[in-house]
Amino acid sequence: MQTMHIVSAYDEELAYLARRIAAMGGHAERMVEQSIAALVNADAGLAQKVIADDAVLDDGQREIDDKAIVVIARRQPMATDLREIIGAIRISADLERVGDLAKNVAKRVVAVTEARQPTSLFRGIEALAELALTQLKDVLDIYATRAVDRIGFVRDRDDQIDAMYTSLFRELLTYMMEDPRNITPCTHLLFCAKNVERIGDHATNIAETIYHIATGEQMPVERPKGDKTDRVTAPGTIASN
């Protein structure tokens, strides 16, 4: 009877960690959505909300870390449970970074929108953010359902995000060449785009952690890390020597 009780309290501790991760994930998704909405609509108020909301993820990560360490010390878990708990520490760190990146987008809203840009400029980053958000949502859905067999989409979609980011990078460089007044806002947009691309990377990291929790193995196929823009130059506007 006593053993039953202990086991079930332990299960509840693990379930609590999983619920806290899910809550952090939902919060991170909203921050990403709202940071992009603030950018596209030049909504400084919404940007301020996103900036303030980041504290919730910082606190969440700290709480999960402390809780995880207490659970390990008290329960001395083996194998799968230990991977589950260490995994919670890792996933909460990724989600905390997603929040930082969304907050950084929000902080750039003023610099990007002080000279009013044509809305076409925001089309690209909106599409990129939509793809990264879908990735994050689907990965968190797999965390909740543990349907690791459905994880195959992750790398393909990460490739799509990288390709879209590269094309956006090139487009923004071209705008900057066309008119020096575009340089400052487009530079900030470049950093926003880079942040969104990084959010996609963190979603992939989370998928890798979920895979490791479930299988004890590394997720197969080395993922070529993110950014493919390192050699991108704007076409036809710069000396090639």
User: Which residues are at the interface with a second copy (CB under 8 A)?
Assistant: 62, 65, 69, 72-73, 76-79, 82-83, 86, 89-90, 93, 100, 103-104, 107-108, 110-111, 114-115, 173, 176-177, 180-181, 183-184, 187-188, 190-191, 194, 218, 225, 227, 230-234, 237-241
CB nearer to a second copy: give 1 or 239. 239
Q: In whole angstroms, what is the distance from residue 15 CA to residue 19 CA?
A: 6
Question: From the CB of 145, what's the least distance to a second copy, in Å?
Answer: 24
CB nearer to a second copy: give 34 or 104. 104
CB nearer to a second copy: give 118 or 145. 118
CB nearer to a second copy: give 77 or 148. 77
Question: From the CB of 115, what's the least distance to a second copy, in Å?
Answer: 5
Question: From the CB of 12, what's the least distance to a second copy, in Å?
Answer: 21
CB nearer to a second copy: give 14 or 86. 86
Q: In whole angstroms, what is the distance from residue 74 CA to residue 68 CA?
A: 10
Question: From the CB of 82, what's the least distance to a second copy, in Å?
Answer: 6
Alpha-carbon distances, residue 100 vs 35, 47, 89, 162 (angstroms):
11, 13, 17, 20
Question: From the CB of 198, what's the least distance to a second copy, in Å?
Answer: 10
